[in-house]
Structure formats: C-alpha cells, structure tokens
Amino acid sequence: MALISGLINSNVFNVFLGAIVTFMFTYFLNIKNQGMSYNQKVVDKRFEAYEDIVDTISELGHSITATDVNTLPSQCIFLNEKKNLRISLAIPYIFMTKSDLIEYSINLQKCCSKNVLWIDNKVSAELDFINDYLLNIWKIVEDRSDDDLKILGIVLHQELINFYISVNNIIQEDIYGGKIRKLKSIKYTIKVNNRRYRLLNTSLYKIGLSDLNKWFGDLYQCQECHYVECGKKCPLATYRFINKN
C-alpha cells in the first residue's frame, strides 16, 4: 500500500514539475518572441522613415533643362567668354517659382519632424543643414522675382544634387553597415559646422546673382547667336535677370 502511495505521489510530483517547466519555457519563449517582434517593428519603422526621406530629398535632383549646349553656335557667349562661371544647364524644379521653394521647404520640414525618432543622428544633422540652407536661399530671393530664383537655381543645381547624394550615402551606411538597429548619439562634425558657418554668409550668393544678372543681360543682347538670326529668342535669355531693382 505504501508503495502504491509512493508511486502516485511520485507521478503527481513529476506531472507538477513538468507543468512548471512547460510554463516557464512557454513564458520565456513568449517574452523572446515579443522582444523579437518589437525589434522587427522598430526596424520596419526605420526603413519606412528612410524611404520617406529618400523620396522627399530626391526632389532636390529633379530639374528642367534650360537648353542643350550642343545646339548653341561656336561663337556663343556661354561656350566661350563666360566659361569661368561654370553655369549648369538645368534649373531645379523647386526653384521654378518661390511658391515651389516654400512648398518644398515645408514638406521637407514635415518629413524630418515625422521621422526624426527613427533615423540616424547623422541623417538628422544633414537634413537640418539642408533646411537651414533652403531658409538662407529664401532670405536671398524673398523680395526678388521668380526669374531671379531660376537663375539662382542654375547656380546651385549641382550643390542640391550633392545634398541628395550625401543623405543617401549616410542612409546606405546605416542600412548596410549593420547599424540599423542602433540609435547612437552623434554630434555634428567639424565639416558640418564649417558648412553651417559658410551658409550664414549669403552675400556670396547675392554677388553671384548680381553677376549672373549682367551675364544674362549681355546674352540677351547677343546678335551673333543663330537663334536671333532665325527670329527665335535664345533659350538662355528666357531666364535672364528681369528685376533690375
């Protein structure tokens, strides 16, 4: 009788012990799964944020061609005397009108605010710099015409493309460099600080805009261009500096 009672007690104990082990295993497995699920959600959020930022920042590289340099005559001022200005042949879409510039600046700020919790601090620092850059541009053209803005866009076209490349490279580094799960605090680098300091001196852009005013005015009066000979207005003259205030 005692033997039977001992066996029963032993089975009950084993069942009880097995239940406890199963419960603990299931409990810790659920915790692990919840942690993995949470981490995956964070990673997904970061990818979504980067996709949003890349879509927004890529607009800096969208442009319209002012003219095709191959169609200009060999004696054209643009091809000869004014080469030192290194003017691009493209106008950024966001520089077509002041309304376009304001609209894009607002959209970029909204994009940054919405995604700031999910992006690397290097990306955030670069986006802050671009926002400051566009704000300085607005200060230059606020009291000028849309035609002036187009001219400034020609000057700054490559610089805007460089901004897009810079942001994209930092994002690629974060994704493929194995840091996508980390959110480290990163201070502004000396390079960024120097760029910010340079940005405060908007007089450089104003001087450039004034020089372009003279250049576009000269080109508009050019009598050697075959566009004038054919009774057509030179395509570059369309974007001359009109506001002479």
pLDDT at residue 202, as a whole number: 55
Concatenate the DSSP letters of all residues of 137-160 into one string: HHHHHTTS-HHHHHHHHHHHHHHH
Q: Which neighbouring-strand residues pair with 90?
A: 65
pLDDT of residue 199: 53
Q: What is the pLDDT of residue 101?
A: 93
Does the pTM exceed 0.75? no
Q: What is the mean pLDDT of each run of 10 residues along the chain (245 residues)?
A: 51 59 58 56 83 91 65 50 54 89 94 88 87 84 79 78 88 72 46 52 56 47 45 42 32
Q: What pLDDT score does 29 carry?
A: 55
Rounded distance, CA 192 to CA 9, Å? 74
